[in-house]
Chains A and B, each alone.
Chain A
Amino acid sequence: MEQGSRRRVENERAYVLHTWPYSETSLLVEIFSRGYGRLPLLAKGVRRPRSSLRGLLMAFQPLSLGWSGRGEVRTLNRCEWVGGLPLLKGDALLCGFYCNELLMRLLPREDPHEALFDHYEATLAQLQHAEDLERVLRAFERTLLKELGYGLTLDRDAETGGPIDPEAFYDYEPDRGPVPSRGEGRLRLRGRTLLAIANEDYSDPGTLQQYKQLMRLLINHRLDQQPLHSRNVYRELQQL
């Protein structure tokens, strides 16, 4: 891309991932945009009581943004509400925070991922009505890993390259995939379960449970085993 064209961006579809107060009146806003990926913007003066953008720069609201500047932190110039999505509530809201934290922690800055953006937007819409939030989360985690270049291997043995035997047991190695189990891996899965996950067949209730453990293993591996705040807070809230 030409350097000059990076200075000013207009009408870019984006979501706020998180915000931090910056000085007395400004806000530092981490956004996920469709064409430019994740990046920080400085929103000057928006914490003033009568700022028209005060209530707008909020997570989970579809926005159209404009910014300019060349440093690491650009300056927000325009923000418009695009709409069409009611705000998240309850457990779905916590799931939204979790997705945002995953993007903040795993997606490198200024690395555009249009397909991931579209999937994120669809995820927010699904969370509004989903009966099974866990399934929506698994699909988001899977797309995120795939877009980052860590797609799941589920249908072939990573050691032999051969097909998965439904009756055999496999250890899932985060950097390789399923290998015949020697009973020493962190996560032992049945071949049948791997194939069910590959085909998104969750008719066996145990499959989703194992799928969750698998995704947790892979995400923790990508996070170098650093804990996710939103996951901990969610657990504490369930214990209330």
Chain B
Amino acid sequence: MSRTNNSLDELIEALRCLPGVGPKSAQRMAYHLLQYDQAGAHRLALALDRALQRIRRCAKCNTFTEEEVCALCTSPKRDPSLLCVVETPADQAVMEQTLAYQGLYFVLMGRLSPLDGIGPKEIGLDALQRRVSDGIVKEVILATNFTNEGEATAHYIHEMLQGRGLKITRIARGVPVGGELEYVDLGTLAQAFYERREA
């Protein structure tokens, strides 16, 4: 670890933990906070401290929450027989915006990434296995990304959950709604062709 000799260096060094923030932007942020926005800096420090103390993982869906179990998981309006597996809270949020889905979620907080050494332990597949064994979940919907890593994740979750009497589905991919073939990107169109279904 680099030894910092004063609290300004310490602050700049600390800001660099943010994604995409290099030494220059960290310095700019630190000067800005100290010179022009001490109130904002104070608020940030308090909010960070509070979040760190209060926020934990939902015991059922693994997302961030202040409760033992999050509001969505306890909502009586949701269908507990459906469980949708997503990579991140952002993916869950966008699924919610579609209003197409009324079931519950499991958030992996990542994806399998063999080249980075991220395997089943790192994304908590054992917790998912326990979650679907509650006797209530009937269908698991795999909504991981359509990247190689997301596909690998979906494939191995499928393998892991097979033979338990659960219905396992994968969200469909293909030509976007309103998409005209002429303007669809070629990779998407080719994959839609490979995965064509009976009309």
Bound form: Cα–Cα A61–B117 in Å: 22
Nearest CB of chain A from residue B93's CB, rounded to whole Å: 14
Main secondary structure of the interface of B (DSSP, over half): helix
Tell me the B residues contacting A by CB distance below 8 Å: 19-20, 22, 112, 114-121, 125, 146-148, 151-152, 155-156, 159-160, 185-188, 190-191, 194
Interfacial chain B residues near A234, Cβ < 8 Å = 114
Q: What's the count of A-B pairs with C-beta under 8 Å?
A: 80
Given contacts A56-B185, A86-B191, contact A97 B114 (CB under 8 A): yes
A90: nearest chain-B partner, CB-CB: B155
Task: Please give me the residue from chain B that is nearest to A24 by CB atom.
Answer: B20
Binary flags per residue of A151-181, CB closer than 8 Å to B gives 1, else 0? 0000000000000000000000000000000
Can you identify 21 A-B contacts, CB atoms within 8 angstroms?
A21-B19, A21-B20, A24-B19, A55-B185, A58-B148, A61-B187, A81-B185, A81-B186, A90-B155, A93-B151, A93-B155, A97-B114, A97-B115, A97-B148, A98-B114, A100-B115, A229-B115, A233-B114, A233-B117, A236-B120, A240-B125
Chain B residues closer than 8 Å to A119, beta-carbon distance: none
Structural contact, B155 and A58, CB atoms closer than 8 A:
no
- Asked if B148 and A18 sit within 8 Å, CB to CB, the answer is no
Q: Which residues of B contact A11 (CB under 8 A)?
A: none
Contacts known (A56-B187, A61-B187, A97-B114); A233 close to B151, Cβ less than 8 A: no
What would 18 more interface pairs be, CB under 8 Å, given A81-B187, A229-B116? A18-B115, A21-B19, A23-B22, A55-B187, A61-B187, A88-B148, A89-B151, A89-B155, A93-B152, A94-B114, A101-B114, A232-B117, A233-B117, A234-B114, A236-B119, A236-B121, A237-B119, A237-B120
